[in-house]
Amino acid sequence: MSIDNNQRLQNLKWRVMDRLIAAKETLPREWYQSQPNWLGYVLIVPGVLLVSFLFVGLLLLAGYSVLTFDPIEFIVYEFTLENWRNFLTTEAYYRIFARTVGMATLITVLAVAMALPYAYLTVRTENAVLRKLLLVCLFVPFFTGVIVRAYGWMIILGQNGLVNTGLGVFGIGPIRLIGTEHGVIIGLLQIMIPFAIIMIAPAIQNIDRSLELAASSLGSNRLETFWYVVLPLAAPGIAGATIVVFTLTSATYAIPALVGGGRVDFISNVIYRALFNMANYPLAATFSISLVVVSSIIVLGIFRSIGTGTLGVTEGGTHE
C-alpha cells in the first residue's frame, strides 16, 4: 500500500511539473530570457543581509579581542595581543576548550548513532499508531525550555533522584552523577537526539523504498541493506545532523552550568563569567572568536568528508 501511495505521489509531482513547463511555454520567450537572473538575485537578498549582519558581528568581536582590558575603565582602545596570549598559554582555558570540543564530538557521534534507527523506524513503519507515538516522543521535548529540562535532569540524576533510587533497589549506589561528565553527557544527549532525528528523517524519507526491496531480493538482510543502501543515500541528512548537533553542543551553556555543577564547564560558561563576573569583554570576545574558528574548521571538515564519501559511493556504484 505504501509503495502504491509513493508511486501516486510521484506521478502527481510529474504532472505538476508538466503543467508548469507548459505554462512557461505559453509565455513570450523574450520575457524570461532577456533578464534571466534578476529574480534569483532578489530572492537571495534576505539571506545575504542576514549573513552580512553576522559577519559584521564577528568583525566587532575580533576587534574587541585585541583591545586592552582595565578593571576600572573596562575597555581601553589600545591594541594588544595579551588576551590571545592568556588564552593560548593558560592551562585552565586550554583544558576547558579541549573538553568543549572533545565532549561535543562524543555527543555528536552518540546522538547521530542513536537518531539513525529512530528516524528510520519513524519513516518506514507502516503502523500508524507507532508512527504517531514516535512523533509525539520526538516533539514533546521541544515544548519545554532547556533550563527546565536541565533542572529536570538535576532531579533525576541527583543523590536521591530517580536513577539512584532505582539502583538502590538492586543494592547499587548511590552514584554521583551531578557535577560529572557522565551527567552532562546524559543531559545533552536528551536535548540533541531530537535535532539529529529531525535532520536525518527527511533524508531517509527521500530514499526510494524500491532500492531497499531490490537489495533484499538480492539476498541482503536488514542490517546489510541499512548499512550499504540507506546510510550512503542518507549521507546529506547525516552531515546536516552532525553539523547541527556539534555546533549546538559546543555552544551550549545550561546543561554544563546546572547538571555539571560548575565542575564540567564548557567554553560558553567561561564566556559568561568573563562577561558578567569580570566584565572582561576583550577576553570574552577572544574565547568567542576561538570557538567560532574551531567550529568552522570542524564543520568544513565534515562537509568535505561526507561529500567525498558520498561521491566515492556513487562512483563505485557507477563503476560496477
Quick check: is 55 in a domain?
A: no
At what angle are helices 281-319 and 235-250 packed, to 10 degrees? Answer: 170
pLDDT interval class at 306 (50, 70, 90)? low
**Over residues 79-101, mean pLDDT:** 88
pLDDT, the chain, mean: 83
Residue 45 lies in a domain: no
Q: What is the pLDDT of residues 196-220, one digit of tens each?
A: 999 999 999 888 888 888 888 888 8
CATH number for the domain spanning 262: value is 1.10.3720.10
Determine the Cα–Cα distance for residues 226 and 68; give it in Å rounded to an integer. Answer: 56
- The secondary structure of 199-212 as a DSSP string is HHHHHHHTS-HHHH
pLDDT given for residue 78 in this prediction = 86
CA proximity to 270, closest of 103, 105, 99, 76: 99
Angle value at C-alpha 269, between 267 and 271, nearest 5 degrees: 70
Is residue 79 in some structural domain? Answer: no
Question: For residue 201, what are the contacts with CB-CB under 8 A and spacing of at least 6?
Answer: 119, 122, 123, 237
22 lies in some domain: no
In a domain, 48, yes or no: no
Residue 310 lies in a domain: yes
How far apart CA 184 and CA 103 sit, in angstroms, is: 9
Give the model's pLDDT for residue 4: 60
Q: Provide the domain count of the chain.
A: 1
In tens, the pLDDT along 262-297 reads 888 899 999 998 888 888 889 899 999 999 998 888
- Residue 276: inside a domain: yes
**C-alpha grid cell, residue 311:** 561521491
Q: Reply yes or no on whether the pLDDT at 28 is more than 90.
A: no
State the burial class of residue 241 (Cβ atoms within 10 Å of its Cβ: 0-12, 13-18, 19+). Answer: buried
Which among 271, 284, 294, 292 is positioned nearest to 67, based on CA atoms? Answer: 284
% helix, strand, coil for the chain, step of 5 = 80, 5, 20
Question: Among 302, 309, 303, which Cα is nearest to 104's?
Answer: 302
In angstroms, the CA 229 to CA 217 distance is: 13
Which set of grid coordinates corresponds to residue 266?
564548557
Span 135-194, pLDDT tens digits: 888 888 888 888 888 888 888 888 888 888 888 888 887 888 888 899 999 999 999 999
What is the domain range of residue 102?
A: 91-151+180-314
Question: Is 80 exceeded by the pLDDT of residue 311?
Answer: no
How many angstroms from the chain centroid is the CA of residue 218?
A: 36
Question: Is position 201 within any domain?
Answer: yes
